[in-house]
Amino acid sequence: MRSPEGHGPELRDPDVEGFLALLAARRAPKTVEAYRRDLAQLGAYLGKPIAKATLEELERYTAQLRADGLSGATIARRTAAARSFYRHQQLLGARDDNPAAAIKLPRRAKPLPKTLSPGEAERLIQAAAGTQPRALRDQALVELLYGAGLRVSEAIGLDKAGVDLDDRLVRVIGKGGKERVVPIGRHASQALLSYLARGRPYLDSRHRPELFLNARGGALTRAGAFLILRKLAEKAGLDPHRVHPHLLRHSFATHLLEGGADLRSVQEMLGHADLSTTELYTHVTDKRRRQLYFQAHPHARRRSTEEQGATRSTRRTPDGPGVGRGVADDEGRARKERA
């Protein structure tokens, strides 16, 4: 058997090709390609058709992935691809079992989403201020990413006809080709109106349907959107390597929940299929609430060194312990007198 990372002439496995063809009807192209790569790695390791693999072989494969230093997330993803393939084999009647279902996966700690503060988000938007066509485009893009929580692929995939400024709505095609309608606020609506009136007409030299265009009149690309945000972050005094489109999506969700929005509504606006994905943002807001509580509440604040020192010195006055402690001292004296 070869190492899981071994490279050789890629042989087409008809069982895998049939599975991927069916998967392409339900999943996004990038997902299909990821499954193709993962199953190809498994096939290269086995040196035989994947459909004939045993549980012991899959366990050895997983152990080899760990030995090669792959992350738990990568191992879990590759195992998930194998499970889906064998589930497909079961549905076809080609196998009675799903050997990948018995593979024990490493526990994955879900990192909390990183976000911008509301002030940082405002600085990023202000950095795009200007009257030139590209400046109007950049401001509209940032306002839409932050004001509607769109994925970068959704934002650059928007058509001009998909924006309804009268009702302040955008029609988005999300993962798996699912369509959703997302409301936008006044700031995003005004930025889009300015861009459509005074920016986009000067960029639209090729009469493209896409909403966001580049300087040559073509559709704005994912890489172009990343570059725009990086330049704006640098101009706003933020770390340009920290700021990316998905950070604005995280910030959108977190700031909504901190403002009192309910979880289901945020789930629908983000286009999450599973509520547990949206619930990650509640952990971020809980963490912030705790920080604010300890900073703001007088019974939760940590006293300064001066306050602690003053308290200790008061307790050591010549009049004896207890002086300066209010009601407790009065009660102590009363008990002594009664004795």
Active centre residues (catalytic): 151, 175, 246, 249, 272, 281
Q: What are phi and psi of 159, to 5 degrees?
A: -90, 155
DSSP per residue over 81-105, as a string? Answer: HHHHHHHHHHHHTS-S--GGGGPPP
Q: What are phi and psi of 330, to 5 degrees?
A: -60, -40
| Vertex 71: Cα angle to 84 and 28 (nearest 5) | 40
* Helix H or strand E segment including 207: none
Q: Is 175:28 a contact under the CB 8 Å cutoff?
A: yes
d(CA 86, CA 102) in angstroms, rounded, equals 12
68: which residues sit within 8 A by CB, 6+ positions away? 3, 4, 5
176: which residues sit within 8 A by CB, 6+ positions away? 26, 27, 28
Residue 2: CB atoms within 10 A of its CB come to 14
Q: What are phi and psi of 210, to 5 degrees?
A: -65, 150
* Nearest to 162, CA basis, from 210, 221, 207: 210
* Helix H or strand E segment including 172: strand 169-173
Q: CA gyration radius for the chain?
A: 29
DSSP annotation of 54: -
